[in-house]
Amino acid sequence: MSDKIEVGSVITGKVTGIQPYGAFVSLDENTQGLVHISEVTHGFVKDINEFLKVGDEVQVKVLSIDENAGKIGLSIRATEEAPAQPEAEKAKKPRAKRQAAAPIKTETESAQGFNTLKDKLQEWIDQSNRNDLIKK
């Protein structure tokens, strides 16, 4: 690993390979890192090939360095300012609101509605023992 590369630094690199999960970027002759597909740009990236190709020069920010594994995590989107979300778009996408759980009603609160199985069980047992209801 190169000593001059530090977490948080912004470096110009060259895309050397593209995979469905990200792009490999050469930082110098001996060092390369990976820009994960989620770090290519702000927003969703379905196909990385729509944004990068081998040979492109890109600005990358070093997110992580794992000396033992010899891996460097890079980000292109961390070097770009996040796009402002238009007010109309904010209004279209309201945040999910949590609903309060419905209170559990007990039998004393209401005699209407469905009876619970526990309430009906004894009645069913009694009906099953009645001779006039048994099919012959």
Output 127 or 74, whichever has higher pLDDT. 74
Whether 61 maps to a domain, the answer reads yes
103 or 75: whose pLDDT is higher? 75
Q: What confidence tens digit (pLDDT) does each residue in 23-63 have?
A: 999 988 888 899 999 999 888 888 999 989 999 999 999 99
Whether 113 maps to a domain, the answer reads no
Instruction: For residue 43, give its domain range.
Output: 10-79
Which of the four pLDDT bands, split at 50, 70 and 90, describes residue 104? low
pLDDT at residue 127 in the model: 81
What is the pTM (predicted TM-score) of this model?
Answer: 0.58
Residue 22 confidence (pLDDT): 92
In a domain, 84, yes or no: no
Per-residue HEC secondary structure of 41-108 comes to CCCCCCCHHHCCCCCCEEEEEEEEEECCCCEEEEECHHHCCCCCCCHHHHHHCCCCCCCCCCCCCCCC
> Is residue 95, in this structure, part of any structural domain at all?
no
In a domain, 57, yes or no: yes
